[in-house]
Amino acid sequence: MSDATLHSVTQDPDDFAVQIADSIESFIVATTEVAKGDEPDSAVPFLLLEISQLLLAGGRLGAHEDIVPDERYEPDTGPEPDVDELRERFAVMLEPVDVFSEVFDPYEPRKAPVPARISDNLADIVTDLRHGLAHYRAGRTSEALWWWQFSYFSNWGPTASATLRALQSLVAHVRLDQPLAELDGLDTDEDLTEDDLAEAAGRVMLEEIATPLGLRSLKK
């Protein structure tokens, strides 16, 4: 959806809500386009850029004072759009590097890393953002901002941060010519300890993933 239809012609483009909505709409459109797989050789760098830009909007929401919606109860936005196709497309595209390990809460002492999937995370982020966008498109601006701020703290913010860290690490491994450990056989429904993750890791040569994911090393 273009800016002409996303916003009223009377809205100030410098308005906080307009800028946040623009950033979120841009991320959803861009991520959906990447998932089509038309340019798989640039998928990872492009996702790294898009999530970085999205987290700037998230940071602005996080730094903003608490947003209170106009209505006491959240209005129904109707059925949530299906993101299974988006999830599955990314799972296929990112198959060699889809699973990664993350620490859910860095302030919880001695918390073991848990397995996660980039494809799952991207689908979850899009789901959260679309929910708020439905309110925004219906003219419920305060409700949209409240939802985006609340879910930034509770779900899509941590999820996007973890995904950004995984993508940045992946790009760094390739650009620095460092072999990447594959979590061979690891899945997200397993409850594994840090030792289990280490034991499951196998070696994968970067040449096997660099070209198809647009991460060819700069070194010759």
pLDDT digits (tens, 9 = 90+) for 21-47: 999 999 999 999 999 988 887 899 999
Strands, DSSP E only, in 69-166?
99-102, 114-117
More confident residue, 122 or 4: 122
Measured between alpha carbons, how far is residue 134 from residues 16, 72, 145 in Å?
Answer: 17, 18, 11
pLDDT over 90, % of the chain: 52
User: Which of the four pLDDT bands, split at 50, 70 and 90, describes residue 137?
Assistant: very high
- Whole-model pTM: value is 0.77
Distance CA 120, CA 170 (A): 17
Mean of the pLDDT values across residues 213-220? 47
Neighbouring-strand partners of residue 181: 203
Neighbouring-strand partners of residue 203: 181
Question: How does DSSP assign 77-135, residue by residue?
Answer: --SPPP-HHHHHHHHHHTTTT-EEEE-S-TTSTTPPPEEEEHHHHHHHHHHHHHHHHHH
Q: Indicate the SS3 state at residue 117.
A: strand
Which of 28-37, 101-110, 133-142 is predicted with the least confidence, judged by mean pLDDT?
101-110
